[in-house]
Structure 1
């Protein structure tokens, strides 16, 4: 062993590590390129031959009195579960039924008012046969997402959304990769088209997403605002000596000023106090100190929108008004504690 064996071996090891580090990244980029190719082919299909079938599928699912029953097996089944969940969370009642469980009693979950959405890349999935037969016997509309319209599933379906036969990202062409990406994307397209067709609103969305950060962002100002005795309010005729006591007690960094009719006409902030600081401050009236026409929000505004307004205006609180009168106040800390960010 020579004196240079150690450093040379270390250098070779570093070069080998760099090469190994590059290989996974190159593989990832090839995968993304191939899956993007698949999505581009799907986009072309939607602007061409698939357009009419897609529009009809949306119409049928929207018109159905029951639910969209999604089915599939293997990787198509996993994608189907996600599609069903997306439908349900965006206002189109849906659930996933496993083909094997369907043939062992779960067919009873499917009614004539429902729509079946079946996913199968080949269209020859044996496990789907009982569902196909059931849908034909009881006139349940059947929509297929498959790459082969001439398949058993395609031939027995009312509507076929035929996916382009794109190359799988798997180098052996075996593991469903590009194909499942296209299935998932087409499912999202259906869900969003349905959402837009029925005018699904953020308020409806909130009803299905009460938890987590998403639920917090969909809260209304009315859900987090301070009301009643917690509001820092003074009259425009009050002296600042009394107003400062109220402002200090409420600890929200501002004071709403109302006129004789109870209408919000101004606001006194810490900044206003600093600008008018002097020996006679406590002897002056609130109307002399306040900032007129303060920024306000409505109780029905989304809390996330109120936070955006607070950040954009570089303020810490907003009064909540109805018909010009203050009904609450929302502070940036309240929004952050509620998880609105």
Structure 2
């Protein structure tokens, strides 16, 4: 996608705070490093893959591992576009869209690889691994395959761990998915090595089994990330960057609102826009009290000061809380006496 530089602005609500700009720049640099390293890996693995099903599966997985960093780099540009009348919530959802695109690529290609692996097992295909002459010596190609898989797996694990920390700071689920896949790359390398060694020992089925293990791993990554991406895009309750639990900011914001002197009840709807949250805080004032604009504005500012992700907050004063409009959560089920 081509973005005109004159359209890139600094909107009030949908930009990262200055303290996280350096973190974003680090993440962008790591993604470029990842793309460069994976590109070299694809070439090396493609050269030595031969007819090994496990090596071919590893090669395809390497190509798929380019999708998340490329999607992240594109999304990191799109989110800088200022909110406008056409996109009033800004463009941070580009992160979730990139997440879903990467997950779909993983699921589709993983499914195809599972089919190929099972077909190879049924047909009892026996992939030959030949010999290459290097410096006047005959060397079994399997040793080259094993060496390349072992060497290329280590940097990916390191890159994955580095990106995990940045994903947490940025609340970036696309970056987290990329980091989690890279961190687990050793599993693909190990399965491939076992499959190649199996062929060398005469176990023809070891190669297809290894390929099947790799393929199932790809499918699992695809399903896990599709669930997470769809949840965000469908305005489900905001969760942590790794989708391990509901995000505590919902509870924190509601607690702060309820502790405000003129508020009787409070309940929030918080949607995850990508990096930031859009918050709608519904408050019921104490009996016969009409809060001033200054009081509602102060409450809004207090909520936004809780965390940098709460940049876009609206406080709505209502007569009662409507359970259809703003359903109660487990934390505030007890206080939902009306509506």
Q: TM-score, normalised by structure 1?
A: 0.25
- Structure whose residues are more often strand by fraction: 1
Q: TM-score, normalised by structure 2?
A: 0.26
Q: Which has the higher contact order (CA 8 A, sep 6+)?
A: 2
